[in-house]
Structure 1
Amino acid sequence: MIGDRRVLALVPARAGSQGLPGKNMRPLAGKPLVDWTLEAAAASTLIDHVLVSSDDAQVLARVQPPMQALERPAALAGPEASVIDAIAHALQHTGAGWDYVVLLQPTSPLRLTADIDAAIRLCDESGAPAVLTVSPTLKPDRFHGTLGADGHLVLDPGREGEGVVLNGAVYVGRPDRLLADRTFLTDGTRALVMPPERGQDIDTLYDFVVAEALMPHARAFAATGMPAVRR
């Protein structure tokens, strides 16, 4: 709870994954991937209730009270399933009265509880409809570009402001706006900047290997972040 505002955290953990099958239960640094998110959510001082939405019996079995397991219906278990529909299902199951919904994907195991709480505070204090976490790009825009059909290189001349990328680690939103807009990225959405290593997202085996290598270093540099961004 933040003030008198109630906070629901949802951990969406479908069984299916096209990029890395079975990734939510894949061992990372000694424990299943999903456990890193469950532990970070459980340690939050602002989250009132944690709900794990999954069609995977192994994932649901990892959920311990006071957290709650919610079995997903088949309609929400396929690759085309919308995360907003999963949120609507969770809200229907838990009832009304939530001021914020926090979406915590298991594929961001390096995020800290401090990142979760900072995103919730930013949403509450700013009055924004939603907050998304981002990470700075590791190289300036002038190093980024595109390849044409014939292989020619076009470099980005650069844009005003710091280049960032959505990292998927924490999403915070107000339920009424989420259900109306069906997206976290709406007019007035704010960004919380996280160090790149804590925003590592896992979708492929490559991502998994990088996250495993980063794990001890991300924890060691928790206070400051790792020196990684080139200016």
Structure 2
Amino acid sequence: MINGKRVLGLITARAGSKGLPGKNIRPLCGKPLIVWSVEQALSCPYIDGVVVSTDGEDIAAVARRAGAHVPFLRPAELADDAAKSIDVILHAVDHLAGTGSYYDIVTLLEPTSPLREGKDITGALERLATNDDIRSIVSVSEAEASHPSFLFSIESGCLRPVLDSQPNGVRRQDVEGRYYFIEGSIYASTVDALREFKGFHHAYTAAWVVERYKSIEIDELCDAIMAESLMSARLRGELK
């Protein structure tokens, strides 16, 4: 709880991954992938309940052993490729409310972003709960190689700069402006705002900036290989 508001840590883990089958329980540095998110949620002092929404019995079993609550299996219509994240989130919130567990804030932690840290969740929730001008917060990383100054389109087979004023041979340290992308490791919002805006990003959304290496999202085998290497480096103290 923070500022009198109950916080739900929600981890969504669908069983039917196509890019990397079984990814949510695939080992990462000796732990099933989903366990990293469960442990990070449990380490946050403001989260009152850690719940996993899944349609997979094997995922549910792993999550329960790690200390998460799995009070239901997600219905099939919310576990296919067409299911919207907001519907999955509100289904969990409403199911819990039906059992007498009410929450004011939802923190969505997708298991495919295991490189976040508990301190990121804690910091993001503090910013959200102590600022009356914001109703949600999402984690972002600074765009460097993907800065507009380095982007091109292809027209009739030829490269065309995205920016009309884009110079040739621009150096990274010389680009103007700082840009950020939503990197997906932390989403948090009041429940009221989720119902109103049907998502986390709107005019009242703040940013929580994380290191670029944390932005790895595991969708394919190459992502899992990179995440394994980065997590290993962090466990050795080489990354902060």
TM-score (norm 1): 0.89
Give CA deviations for 1:72-117 in whole Å, capped at 9, x if unaligned: 0111110111111111111111116312100000000111000111
Q: Which moved more, 1:93-102 or 1:148-157?
A: 148-157
2:120 equivalent to 1:115: yes
CA contact (8 A) 1:111 1:198 kept: yes
Match of 2:78 in 1: 76
| Deviation, structure 1 residue 164 | 1.3
Match of 1:192 in 2: 208
| Deviation, structure 1 residue 143 | 5.0
Match of 2:150 in 1: 144
2:198 equivalent to 1:208: no
| Deviation, structure 1 residue 26 | 1.1
**In structure 1, how many angstroms separate the alpha carbons of the residues matched to 2:205 and 2:148?**
26
Give CA deviations for 1:195-222 in whole Å, capped at 9, x if unaligned: 0112211111111111111112234256
TM-score (norm 2): 0.86
**In structure 1, how many angstroms separate the alpha carbons of the residues matched to 2:5 and 2:34?**
27
The secondary structure found in structure 2 opposite 1:190 is strand
Q: Which moved more, 1:106-115 or 1:12-21?
A: 12-21
**In structure 2, how many angstroms separate the alpha carbons of the residues matched to 1:156 and 1:218?**
36
Match of 1:62 in 2: 62
Between structure 1 and structure 2, the one with the greater Rg is: 2
Match of 2:183 in 1: 167
CA contact (8 A) 2:24 2:111 kept: yes
Give the aligned length. 223
Match of 1:97 in 2: 102
**In structure 1, how many angstroms separate the alpha carbons of the residues matched to 2:79 and 2:192?**
24
Give CA deviations for 1:138-175 in whole Å, capped at 9, x if unaligned: 33725521231433223344786312111110000011
The secondary structure found in structure 2 opposite 1:122 is helix
**In structure 2, how many angstroms separate the alpha carbons of the residues matched to 1:54 and 1:140?**
33
Q: Which moved more, 1:72-81 or 1:208-217?
A: 208-217
Q: What 5-or-longer segments of structure 1 have no aligned partner?
A: 226-231
Match of 1:229 in 2: none
CA contact (8 A) 1:198 1:218 kept: no
**In structure 2, how many angstroms separate the alpha carbons of the residues matched to 1:99 and 1:221?**
37
The one-letter amino acid of 1:29's match is C
The secondary structure found in structure 2 opposite 1:126 is coil
The secondary structure found in structure 2 opposite 1:166 is strand
CA contact (8 A) 1:141 1:156 kept: no
Match of 1:27 in 2: 27
CA contact (8 A) 1:17 1:79 kept: no
1:74–1:142: structure 2 CA closer, same or farther, 3 Å change rule? closer
The one-letter amino acid of 1:27's match is P
**In structure 1, how many angstroms separate the alpha carbons of the residues matched to 2:209 and 2:238?**
16
**In structure 1, how many angstroms separate the alpha carbons of the residues matched to 2:76 and 2:191?**
23
| Deviation, structure 1 residue 42 | 1.0
| Deviation, structure 1 residue 137 | 1.9
2:159 equivalent to 1:153: yes
